[in-house]
Amino acid sequence: MDQWLLSQDGMWGYLGLLIALLAGALGLPIPEDFPLLVGGILINQGKTEAKLTFLVCYAGTLIGDIIIYAVGRSVGLAVTKKPWFRLRFGDDSLSKVKQSLEKRSILMIFIARHLFYLRTLTFLTCGALRMSFARFLAADAIAALISVPLMLSLGYIAAEHYDAVVHGISKAKELSLVLVAFLLLAGFVYYRRRRALQRRKSASEQANGECSGIN
């Protein structure tokens, strides 16, 4: 995919970048960083214009995120019944989860967009819990204003060492996935222990209640 994009210029270059960004949002295994890196390389090679490349990539990034949010919103509370949701958020009430997402929306969205799988889950959850669209879009727009120029600049600077840059990013993402997996495992262990403690507490309270009734 990246080799095809690198061979394009002008209008086809802009269109290719937009398609790649939207395809990643629709579920294809295309991390957002790769089209952005390619966009920086195309600028460096004079195949596309800097301002227009930024506008296309920025718009494509936002539209892709809105698509994921809209899917979550259309699916609604069905998402909250999925194992990954319960593993991540535990038994907290939906209102508390929503408040937490909204309170830390900019930080969570900024972090999520750089972790391919976390991005989809986070934005689906934002939609499913009916986070204010205006708040979601504002947080996403601010996060993209940082990430899009950053990755375009990295692609521009490292244009002649693209393979090395992609390899380095892939390694970094692998380490990030390992970290996420560890955190999820730790969360799962905590969740199971908390549930066990709650069951013991409930059983103890029930037993005390029965003893009080007998007395």
Three-class HEC string of 69-102: HHHHHHHHHHHHHCHHHHHHHCCCCHHHHHHHHH
| Reported confidence tier of residue 17, pLDDT bands at 50, 70, 90 | very high
The pLDDT mean for the chain works out to: 76
Residue 19's nearest CA partner among 154, 54, 28, 165 is 28
pLDDT of res. 68: 87
What is the chain's Cα-based Rg? Answer: 22
Q: What is the pTM of this model?
A: 0.66
> For residues 118 and 104, is the Cβ–Cβ distance under 8 A?
no
- Amino acid letter for position 133: F
pLDDT of res. 139: 86
> For residues 42 and 6, is the Cβ–Cβ distance under 8 A?
yes
| Reported confidence tier of residue 76, pLDDT bands at 50, 70, 90 | confident
pLDDT of res. 123: 84
pLDDT of res. 85: 61
Phi, psi (5° rounding) for residue 110? -65, -45
Higher pLDDT, 166 or 63: 63
pLDDT of res. 18: 92
pLDDT at 73 over 80: yes
pLDDT (tens digit, 9 = 90+) per residue, 131-160? 888 888 988 898 889 889 998 998 888 777
* CA 116 to mean position of chain CA atoms: 6
Tell the residue number behind the tokens 């380095």, with chain if given. Answer: 168
pLDDT (tens digit, 9 = 90+) per residue, 110-129? 777 766 667 777 788 888 87
